[in-house]
Structure 1
């Protein structure tokens, strides 16, 4: 059984710029408190949009766990 990687956001450095939401709206959203949430998916691996969001995050606060 393989362990699946999941994207995580360091909310301490996230400035809610919205790049991740623009690139991968099926994965990232702003919650009612104004922070970025990661939506629950069966698998995050091999999702090019997530890789683009990680690459384009201006604060480098999206990583894999």
Structure 2
């Protein structure tokens, strides 16, 4: 199963991913975007979040 990965050095903390897929992405206590653990990342909201990232810093691994 593919998992989204956030390249933190490119992330501008726009929070679009968190807005579009709050069940998969969150801002952690350190102030960075993190991918939350899910059994399945095939949800359309997750794909939209990745597609709409303005810095293209979320990829599949």
Taking structure 1 as the reference length, what is the TM-score of the superposition?
A: 0.91
Number of residue pairs matched by the alignment: 61
Taking structure 2 as the reference length, what is the TM-score of the superposition?
A: 0.97
Unaligned runs of 5+ in 1: none
Aligned to 2:9: 12
RMSD over aligned Cα, in angstroms? 0.5
- Displacement of 1:52 in angstroms is 0.3
Structure 1 outlier segments of 4+, above 2 Å = none
Q: Which has the larger radius of gyration?
A: 1
